[in-house]
Amino acid sequence: CIISYRLIQFSLGIQRTANVVMADSQSSFRPALLVVDMQEDFCPPSGSLAVPLGRTITPLINTLLTLPPRTLPLKIATQDWHPPNHISFAPNHPSNPPPFVTSHTITNPLNPSQSYTTLLWPPHCIQSTPGASLIPELSSQHFTHIIKKGLDPRVEMYSAFFDPFPPTPTGERVCDSGLAKLLHDEKVTHVYVVGLAGDYCVKHTAYDATKEGFQTVIIEEGTKTVNPGGWEECKKEMESIGGVRVVSVESEEVQ
Ligand code: VGL
Ligand code: ZN
């Protein structure tokens, strides 16, 4: 089909980028694929926080996962991995009616003067439950690393890198998944992000990837959003404010 044809073109684009950039001794190209939160609870039909059409991106992700290590050396899965008392779960705030509609203020455990208001969600991806497992149709045998996120009950963690609060002056953070260190240690230059959900965890993961200095690309057909109507706006924000490139494998090759 046209999508898989374009995807192969896209993959060849990654290879071509590698060849071109490596020929230029000034720079290098070492890509990593981040597959964000492809978990049962984020997928229809039975996920507690199912993203519309969430399962349908799996074939495209599996095609990327079968690229050989010399083309794509790092293939990293992330898993939202919450304790039952996590702050983002609506029922943990009984004064609020569930879910989505209500918001809650989260305060920085390391600096009580910092706080922000955010959404609450149905309980999802509770550690070691079936809902937290990666969906079985994902070719998980190809992952080189699996990173867990959202373990601290006190803070939200959409990004696979860090909680949303800035580090303290001494560099302390509430949560650090170790992903930044892994990518820096591996001398990664480019990060390709796919998975769920485009308007939450994929977006915040991509923002942190750019802040960490990686050339960051979201593959549009490799993600789905909680709010499909907001995707065009979301893309504009990510590109203009976040420095993230959003590419469509249907219409564009990596260059
Ligand atoms: C996510 C809401 C809550 C996500 C995680 O993976 O996008 N969304 N927790
Ligand atoms: Zn979550």
4-36 pLDDT tens trace: 555 555 666 666 665 555 555 456 889 999 999
> CA 153 from chain center: how many Å?
20
Ligand number with the minimum distance to the CA of 118: 1
Whole-number average pLDDT of the chain: 88
pLDDT per position as a tens digit, 198-213: 999 999 999 999 999 9
Starting from the CA of residue 127, give the closest ligand.
Answer: 2
Residue 216 forms beta bridges with which residues?
191
CB contact at 8 A, 161 and 184: no
Half-sphere exposure of 241 toward its Cβ, with a 13 Å CA cutoff? 10
For 85, 98, 198, the CA distances from 93, given in Å and listed in that order, are 10, 9, 26
Q: Which atom of ligand 1 is nearest to the CA of 200?
A: 7
The answer to whether 164 and 204 are in contact (CB under 8 A) is: yes
How many Å apart are CA 133 and CA 126, to the nearest integer?
9
Q: What is the pLDDT of residues 113-163, one digit of tens each?
A: 998 888 899 999 999 999 999 999 999 999 999 999 999 999 999 999 999
Q: What is the pLDDT of residues 37-91, one digit of tens each?
A: 999 999 999 999 999 999 999 999 999 999 989 889 999 999 999 999 999 998 8
Nearest CA to ligand 1 atom 4: 201
Q: Token pair of 208, please?
A: 């942190």
Q: According to the model, what pLDDT value does residue 17 have?
A: 63
Flag whether pLDDT at 195 surpasses 90. yes
The answer, yes or no, to whether residue 3 has pLDDT greater than 80, is no
C-alpha 11/C-alpha 75 separation (Å) is 14
Predicted complex ipTM: 0.91
- Residues paired with residue 195 on neighbouring β-strands, in sequence order: 36, 223
Q: CB 78: neighbour CB atoms within 10 A?
A: 28
Q: How many CB atoms lie within 10 A of CB 152?
A: 16
pLDDT exceeds cutoff 60 at 100: no
pLDDT tens track for 224-242? 999 889 889 999 988 888 8
* Atom from ligand 1 closest to the CA of residue 42: 6
Nearest-CA residue for ligand 1 atom 6 is 201
C-alpha 44/C-alpha 232 separation (Å) is 23
**DSSP reduced 3-state for 30:** coil
